[in-house]
Amino acid sequence: MERDMDASGGSTEASRQIRVRFTTKLPPPLRVPTTSLAVPSNLSRMGLSEIVNHLLKNMDSEYQFQPFDFLVDGELIRMPLEQFLLAKGISAEKVLEMEYIKAVAPRKQEDPCLHDDWVSAVDGSNSSFILTGCYDGLARIWKGGAVCTHIFEGHSGAITSASIINRKEVESENSLYVATGSKDRSLRLWKFDAAEHVEHPLRIRAYKILQEHTSSVQSISSAPSGDMVCSGSWDCSIKLWEVKASEAEGDAVSIKKRKLLSDAAEWEESQLEGTATSTLVGHTQCVSSVVWPELQTIYSASWDHSIRQWDVQTGNETWNMVCGKALNCLDVGGESSALVVAGGSDPVLRIWDPRKPGTLAPVFQFSSHSSWITACKWHTRSWIHLLSASYDGKVMLWDLRTAWPLATIDSHKDKVLCADWWKNDSVISGGADSKLFICSGIQI
């Protein structure tokens, strides 16, 4: 049985039609009949989405409309059907099997969390709070993404990176560890109690100060075991550090309002200094981004146009790929956690597969930004979804099955400096407008 239907569900006299059959892996309330339908060939995903919504509404009058995306042969449709079939060399004569999925787009934007300066670092790896780093030299914990409960105080320069350390062996399950890197050339390690009920933000001081870099610390990442962190710096080196506090250092303590003589304060800080366990040397310019995805492997990106892979045990470089652009950000994920994504001094987000030897060509390229790319991050639970942020003020969500962004978030009124996923269904981003934005309700 065939029906002629237009985007609004009525019949049409459109000159050219294509027969389609809608299929889905979504649960039964969202499944339409598998009968083939004739639809206008000039429909794109919006029109197709409207048809599926009308069919679902006909089956259930309580049904609430929602956006859908459409896959043909594993590729998302991002142009009128006719054009898509032509581009893919698919015959318009036979019935087109079309799988529909929930569209990936934020449905809600929370009120921004205001900072006193640029928000340059963000970590969404803990579902109960967000960690931010700011150009005012402070890092902050935002409980539930709304209330500032802890302020990490001590850096004398802008914070460039901040990371939650997931320690496997911690004394109490509420003890959480954080690492920050700064333009003051140091890393600081902090410990706090996430369960503490606080009326006013608690001011925390570092339990360890790591200052062997000779220039600004640009990026930090913690080992999967949580017992070490690595840092990339403007001094072209990568250093590895132990997270563990020595017995003498005691607990992290809240800063009391006290006046210390500067030499006493310096003496106190000198007691907290830690030394690097090793240094990885090879980059010739700023190491802008480091990632530590597996126990024995670190990846780095640099302004020297290269992405490198390092063996933690030997300190040797095991893969070096020059890509022709100064790089700002890097992440490893995707299929088998093996794909490398990076962005830098042009508007193109590129993805490489190091398992394919002898080729430097990216396996994917996304070109919708209009300025330098500052952040890129794979989704933790999906190997085909990732995000990017740019100086163009936008955060974009990507799916490897199409070259166009799934969604563009333009909450920021200035450069976006950092971005991450949070709670699997939200995107968090910080920018030069001194705001942390949270966009939620993304169904992946």
Q: What is the pLDDT of residues 276-295, one digit of tens each?
A: 999 999 999 999 999 999 99
pTM for the whole structure: 0.87
Name the CATH architecture for the domain at 17-102.
Answer: Roll (3.10)
Mean of pLDDT values over 2-19: 56
The answer on pLDDT for 238 being more than 60 is yes
Longest dimension (CA), the chain: 87
The answer on pLDDT for 14 being more than 60 is no
Model confidence band, residue 76 (pLDDT cutoffs 50, 70, 90)? very high
Weakest-pLDDT range from 102-111, 147-156, 226-235, 364-373: 102-111
CATH 2.130.10.10 fits 108-243+270-440, yes or no: yes
For the chain, what are the domain ranges? 17-102, 108-243+270-440
How confident is the model over 97-141, as pLDDT tens digits?
999 999 998 888 989 999 999 999 999 999 999 999 999 999 999
How confident is the model over 299-356, as pLDDT tens digits?
999 999 999 999 999 999 999 999 889 999 999 998 888 999 999 999 999 999 988 8
The answer on pLDDT for 17 being more than 70 is yes
Model confidence band, residue 15 (pLDDT cutoffs 50, 70, 90)? low
pLDDT for 256: 40
